[in-house]
């Protein structure tokens, strides 16, 4: 467990010897749920026996006064006393109390049926989080109309506003791979912890799947949801998660921007996409340096995508094949490896050292083409747009541009390196995209410069400068 989660949970109970061998831990938050647990725990024991995997059951007791802890112990499950208040505090205590690689959470009120466990367990190879979803196609929720209206409105508003492809963010019936809860500590302490966990996991590129599920109302007792307090908690969590999702560090930032509800952001991404693809020729293979999660790399299925951010590559892996983790200043490829190298919106994020352009030149084969895009800081319009963007979205990329290029200076540097700068185009008069060709008579790599640079594999002459009008290109998502 992440260090901050360990400290926050403050659990004094230690796991028994047999628990260390469990492949699955079932964590059940409980507050005065004795009557329900008397029915749930025997049914859960039968379901786990049928599942035929080493498992343990952990009930997190939130200071119950009805004898919950005694019933749990009598029925052979572990009791962990909750130290922090709220549903989120119960989850922290449960996560900390087990070392099982898979953790399943479910409610104590019999609304989550044990018979559904095999449906979640068999999907563990498909994702890092598996959700028993009331709102996925085929799912159903039996509940009062007020609660049902609140639940659907909450899930739809969070999903739409934060760009999440998840229908049921508030389902507490889930199975987590341990690595997810260890790597992403959460701050929420009420039921909004459920949303925060999913959003942080999605933002780190983890795979999340939903399995349709029929939700039933609780059998005995009253719900512990307090709508006024919960609404305040959800509002605070929404603000924090909105800032997180709209930061450039979000793994699907570029992908979502392509279909952004903001016209300028959407149009900018699509114009860039069409311009870059329109400059490509038949020189293969293709390398996209700093590919991020853009539609450019996805629309070039045979291209090699390279990025430094592991989360972006993890998100991209289901949409594109050849991916490599590495840095532009030390590309992990032999010299003259690629017929085309794309580097869009990256060099402004790096210190201006010889390696930045030098590595692009090194891995490009003689006669190959370099597609290089970066903002033109020689244009007042771009500086004004970036200033406004930084005020509206302070957590986005504006403050990360540490090297400022202008068209004439960058073109002169490319020519000084021996490139023929064939043309350039602009995206909305601010972002310049060059096409430069490496001469065919360029010197072959010296002996000793043919091996790849160290990096982590993720899976697998001057010509006259002219400006071309951007050609219209298909930019469907």
pLDDT tens for each residue of 326-364: 999 999 999 999 999 999 999 999 999 989 999 999 999
Q: CA-CA distance, 343 to 50, in Å (whole number)?
A: 53
User: Are 110 and 36 within 8 A, CB to CB?
Assistant: yes
- Per-residue pLDDT band for 222 (boundaries 50, 70, 90) equals low
Domains of the chain in sequence order: 3-245 (3.90.550.10), 253-457 (3.40.50.150)
Rounded-to-integer distance, Cα 3 and Cα 394, Å: 29
The predicted structure's pLDDT at residue 365: 95
Phi/psi of residue 111, nearest 5 degrees: -80, -20
Give the pLDDT confidence score for residue 467 in this predicted structure. Answer: 41
Report residue 226's pLDDT band, with 50, 70 and 90 as the boundaries: low
Indicate whether this model's pTM tops 0.75: no
Task: Give the distance between the most distant pair of CA atoms in the chain.
Answer: 87
Helices (H), 67-222: 68-74, 86-96, 117-121, 145-162, 178-183, 193-203
Which residue, among 260, 298, 256, 296, has the nearest Cα to 280 in the 3D structure? 296
- Look at residue 249 and tell me whether its pLDDT is greater than 70: yes
Please tell me the predicted confidence (pLDDT) of residue 305: 96
Answer yes or no: is pLDDT of 389 > 80: no
CA distance 299 to 319: 10
What percentage of the chain carries pLDDT values higher than 90? 60
Token pair, residue 174, equals 């889930």
Report the distance separating Cα 194 and Cα 211, nearest Å: 17
The tokens describing 448, both together, are 């000793």
pLDDT (tens digit per residue) in 109-133: 999 999 999 999 999 999 999 999 9
Spatial distance between the Cα atoms of 219 and 14, rounded to a whole number of angstroms: 32
DSSP secondary structure string for all residues of 293-360: T-HHHHT-TTSEEEES-HHHHHHHTTT-S-EEE-BTTB-SS-TT-EEEEEEES-GGGS---HHHHHHH
The whole-number pLDDT of residue 34 equals: 93
Q: Is the pLDDT of residue 8 over 80?
A: no
Is 267:449 a contact under the CB 8 Å cutoff? no
Q: pLDDT at position 311, please?
A: 87
């Amino acid at each position: 467990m992440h260090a901050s989660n360990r400290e926050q949970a403050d659990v004094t109970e230690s796991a028994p010897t047999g628990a260390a061998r469990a492949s699955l831990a079932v964590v059940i938050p409980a507050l005065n749920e004795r009557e329900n647990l008397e029915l749930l725990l025997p049914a859960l024991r039968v379901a786990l026996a049928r599942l035929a995997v080493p498992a343990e059951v952990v009930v997190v007791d939130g200071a119950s006064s009805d004898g919950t802890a005694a019933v749990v112990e009598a029925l052979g499950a572990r009791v962990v006393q909750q130290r922090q208040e709220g549903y989120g505090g119960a989850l922290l205590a449960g996560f900390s109390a087990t070392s099982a690689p898979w953790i399943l959470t479910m409610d104590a009120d019999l609304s989550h049926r044990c018979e559904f466990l095999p449906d979640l367990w068999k999907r563990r190879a498909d994702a890092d989080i598996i959700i028993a979803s009331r709102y996925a196609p085929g799912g159903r929720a039996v509940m009062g109309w007020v609660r049902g209206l609140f639940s659907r409105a909450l899930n739809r508003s969070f999903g739409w506003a934060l760009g999440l492809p998840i229908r049921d963010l508030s389902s507490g019936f889930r199975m987590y791979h341990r690595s997810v809860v260890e790597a992403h500590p959460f701050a929420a302490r009420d039921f909004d912890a459920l949303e925060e966990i999913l959003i942080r996991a999605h933002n780190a590129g983890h795979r999340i799947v939903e399995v349709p599920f029929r939700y039933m109302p609780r059998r005995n007792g009253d719900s512990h949801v307090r709508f006024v307090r919960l609404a305040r908690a959800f509002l605070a969590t929404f603000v924090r998660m909105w800032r997180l999702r709209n930061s450039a560090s979000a793994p699907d930032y570029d992908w979502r921007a392509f279909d952004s509800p903001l016209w300028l952001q959407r149009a900018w991404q699509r114009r860039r996409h069409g311009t870059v693809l329109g400059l490509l020729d038949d020189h293969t293979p293709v390398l996209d340096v700093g590919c991020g999660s853009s539609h450019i790399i996805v629309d070039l299925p045979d291209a090699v995508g390279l990025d430094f951010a592991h989360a972006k590559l993890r998100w991209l892996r289901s949409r594109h094949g050849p991916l490599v983790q590495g840095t532009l200043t030390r590309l992990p490829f032999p010299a003259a490896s690629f017929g085309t190298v794309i580097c869009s919106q990256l060099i402004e994020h790096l210190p201006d050292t010889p390696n930045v352009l030098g590595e692009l030149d090194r891995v490009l084969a003689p006669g190959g083409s370099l597609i290089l895009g970066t903002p033109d800081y020689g244009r007042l319009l771009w500086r004004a747009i970036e200033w406004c963007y930084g005020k509206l979205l302070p957590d986005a990329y504006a403050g990360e541009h540490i090297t400022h290029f202008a068209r004439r200076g960058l073109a002169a540097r490319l020519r000084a390196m021996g490139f023929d700068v064939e043309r350039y185009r602009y995206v909305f008069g601010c972002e310049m995209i060059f096409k430069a060709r490496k001469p065919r008579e360029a010197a072959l790599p010296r002996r000793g410069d043919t091996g790849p640079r160290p990096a982590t594999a993720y899976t697998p002459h001057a010509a006259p400068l002219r400006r071309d009008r951007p050609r219209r290109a298909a930019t469907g998502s």
